[in-house]
Chain A
Amino acid sequence: MSVATITRPRLSQIRSWLAKIPDPEIPVISLIDLGIIRDVAWRGDTLEVTVTPTYSGCPATGVINLEIERTLIEHGIEKLELKRQLSPAWTTAWISAEGREKLTAYGIAPPQEGTAACAGALKPLNVSCPQCGSVKTERISQFGSTPCKAHYRCTECLEPFDYFKSI
């Protein structure tokens, strides 16, 4: 089989395909928005996609890998290798500006910038309510509906909401 004649889609094209794959648990943001696609590169006729997990035990990881494979195969990629990269460990600082906006619009408060290096959730954070915008919010629990979220409540409009916690 001749490898030289295979047309290799441009990496920017591949990234745009990946940018259409939604996160399985928060479908408004894509894998690119989430910042978990660490690299896309051709090695000969094999496409290597490097993915980093969000949380060690996040059950979405397996689904994400399946979705990447399915999407790229649909676009004609024949040889694909998914690589797992643990270091540098994923941080919410890698969520794109667009991703943060999409989270807010969806009703999830985006992670506070500059707090990624520490757990620090016991310290008061000025998390804005994604419903009414008030900063009068309080934490109910630092663990929420998925590993990446905490439970908050707005004391102004009284709505409970998810906060995408910094890691």
Chain B
Amino acid sequence: MGVTSAAIAEFATRMGDNCLILGHRDSEWCGHSPALEEDIALANTALDHVGQAQLWLGLACEIEGRGKTADTLAFLRDASGYRNLLLVEQPNGDFGRTIMRQFLFDAWHLPMLKALINSSDKRIAEIAEKASKEVAYHLERSTDLVVRLGDGTRESQARMQTALDFLWPYTGEMFLGDALDDELEAAGIAPAPASLRPAWDQHVGRTLAEATLKAPDKSYAQKGGKRGVHSEHLGFILAEMQFLQRAYPGAKW
């Protein structure tokens, strides 16, 4: 098999960083959601994502074999070391935008994990099997809320449409492959990003129609996250998330 272990570690880092950054964004709502049930749901979703990030980043460290841990990666990398999609680092905005971002991500995340269950790398397949069960619940919830808020009041409908318009340019990056993706696909380790598009299009299209929302017809994709080129927002996330370990190196509970 021609795939280097570095390539597998890089892929695990991409998966883990998506989970970590979205988990952090979701956790920003803790105590601020519009209803108690939503607060609990977002906090639970955040918890799932942070747990998944621990598994993926833990795998990346294990492959690298230099004694790092998931915490080292989370707390001691700068923005350019992060490999998450630009979508997940976008600011929460209002509750509608947070739910729309979650929905657009979940609709990609679940088919990605389902494909990874068949990965030729057993470690990746195991994490995907575990995470896919949790993510099935995420997608179910975000889909339900997009429909209820989209096909809701005039106010909620307008907010969901604004959220969709704002986030749409960040969705294309999920389906753009690079040399690393090609290498992993050839070895049966991960699916080609573009192969996930039909399932995503179908689920998102059907849901948006039911939600009386209209996807922008622009196909321009903002990209860069997978190779460490981020929007300014990531730096602010890291400033908050990493403060303690930066200010008090090695601090423990």
Binding site for B on A (CB under 8 A): 53, 55-59, 86-91, 118-122, 140-145, 147, 151, 165, 167
**Interface centre among A56, A87, A119, A142, by most B CB within 10 Å?**
A56
| Residues of chain B within 8 A of A56, CB atoms compared | 48, 51-52, 54-55, 130-131, 134
Q: For the complex formed, measure the closest distance between the CB of A83 and the CB atoms of chain B, giving whole angstroms.
A: 13
Distance, CA A106 to CA B54, complexed state (A):
32
Distance, CA A118 to CA B139, complexed state (A):
12
Give residues of chain B (36-79) contacting chain A, Cβ–Cβ below 8 Å: 37-38, 40-41, 44-45, 47-52, 54-55
Chain B, Cβ-Cβ closest to A56: B51
Interface residues on B, range: 20 to 34
| Residues of chain A within 8 A of B41, CB atoms compared | 141-143
Q: For the complex formed, measure the closest distance between the CB of B29 and the CB atoms of chain A, giving whole angstroms.
A: 13
Q: For the complex formed, measure the closest distance between the CB of B59 and the CB atoms of chain A, giving whole angstroms.
A: 10
| Residues of chain B within 8 A of A91, CB atoms compared | 133
| Residues of chain A within 8 A of B45, CB atoms compared | 143
Cβ contact within 8 Å between B48 and A142:
no
Known: A121-B140, A140-B37. 12 other contacts (CB 8 A): A56-B52, A58-B51, A59-B47, A86-B55, A86-B130, A89-B129, A89-B133, A141-B38, A142-B41, A143-B40, A143-B141, A147-B134
- Would you call B204 an interface residue if the criterion is a C-beta within 8 Å of the partner chain's C-beta atoms? no
| Residues of chain A within 8 A of B140, CB atoms compared | 119-122, 142
Q: Is the interface of A mostly helix, strand, loop or mixed?
A: loop
Chain B, Cβ-Cβ closest to A147: B44
- Would you call B220 an interface residue if the criterion is a C-beta within 8 Å of the partner chain's C-beta atoms? no
Query: Which residue in B47, B52, B129 is a CB contact (below 8 Å) of A88?
Result: B129
With contacts A56-B54, A145-B40, A167-B133 taken as known, whether A87 is within 8 angstroms of B48 at the C-beta atoms is no
Cβ contact within 8 Å between B40 and A141:
yes
| Residues of chain A within 8 A of B23, CB atoms compared | 57
Sorted from nearest, which 6 A-B pairs have the closest CB atoms? A57-B51, A56-B51, A143-B41, A119-B136, A57-B47, A141-B37
**Interface centre among A58, A142, A145, by most B CB within 10 Å?**
A142
Query: Which residue in B38, B48, B133, B136 is a CB contact (below 8 Å) of A57?
Result: B48
Distance, CA A58 to CA B44, complexed state (A):
9
| Residues of chain B within 8 A of A165, CB atoms compared | 137
Cβ contact within 8 Å between B137 and A121:
yes
| Residues of chain A within 8 A of B129, CB atoms compared | 86-89
| Residues of chain A within 8 A of B52, CB atoms compared | 56-57
18 intermolecular pairs with C-beta atoms under 8 Å apart: A53-B130, A55-B47, A56-B48, A56-B131, A56-B134, A57-B48, A57-B51, A57-B52, A58-B51, A87-B130, A89-B126, A89-B130, A90-B130, A119-B137, A141-B37, A141-B41, A147-B134, A167-B137
Q: For the complex formed, measure the closest distance between the CB of B27 and the CB atoms of chain A, giving whole angstroms.
A: 11
Chain B, Cβ-Cβ closest to A57: B51
Cβ contact within 8 Å between A55 and B141:
no
| Residues of chain A within 8 A of B131, CB atoms compared | 56
| Residues of chain A within 8 A of B210, CB atoms compared | none
Cβ contact within 8 Å between B55 and A143:
no
